[in-house]
Amino acid sequence: MIDSPANRLFCIAFLLMVVPVAVSGAPVTRTLSTAEPGAGEVFTVSLSIEDMALGGVVETLPGGYAFAGTGHPADRFLVRGQQVAFAVMNDTAVTYSARAPASGSGDITGTWEDYLAGSEGRIAASHVAVDGIETIAASAGAEPIASAAQQAASPCAVLAAVAGLILAGRWGGRR
């Protein structure tokens, strides 16, 4: 029964459906109220957080942009230069404000870590440009950030993919 072509086809189809879903989920995503703030304008950055009981998020603002405040509890965030760190405890969202400089552009980048799951990753970069005008300094020598699809997956998803490939190889090799 294991040797039948229908069973092999079912196993391959199952792996193709389940593994990408397990690998693709990023627990933290960022949205901006605007990607083209005016000079000196304050704009809102929202972080959506999924399934993180205890962890942290560190956001890095581009040069010239400044942290302008948050509604997150005062004892659960820290600002140092261009970085803002948030402690996450069963939060589903974190919102903060940033002030744009007189001119300039760059990427807001971030990392997250789920302490209980033992996983971490990057948040896809969000590009901002004052009045939509790109500056040469911001784009010259910028380090590329991995897309959401290239970001670190949870160790469980990777193990599930490897186990599935091993099982498919063993079932496919029996005659």
Range 26-151 has CATH code 3.40.50.1360:
no
Please write the tens of the pLDDT for every residue from 58-72.
999 999 999 999 999
| Residues 80 and 60: beta-carbon distance below 8 Å | no
CA dist., res. 122 & res. 65, Å (int): 20
Separation between Cα atoms, residue 81 and residue 149, nearest integer Å? 29
The 10s digit of each residue's pLDDT in 56-114 is 999 999 999 999 999 999 999 999 999 999 999 999 999 999 999 999 999 999 999 99
Dig out the tokens for 95 from the structure. 């919102």
Residue 22: name the closest of 169, 113, 118, 155 by CA: 155
Greatest Cα pair distance in the chain: 71
Q: Which residues of 114-135 are buried (b: 16+ CB within 10 A; e: fewer)?
A: beebebebbbbbbbbbbeeeeb
pTM: predicted TM-score of the whole model, two decimal places: 0.65
Each domain of the chain, given as residue ranges in start order, spans 1-25+153-175, 26-151
pLDDT in tens, 117-161: 999 999 999 999 999 999 875 444 444 433 333 334 444 444 444
Cβ pair 48, 123 in contact under 8 A: no
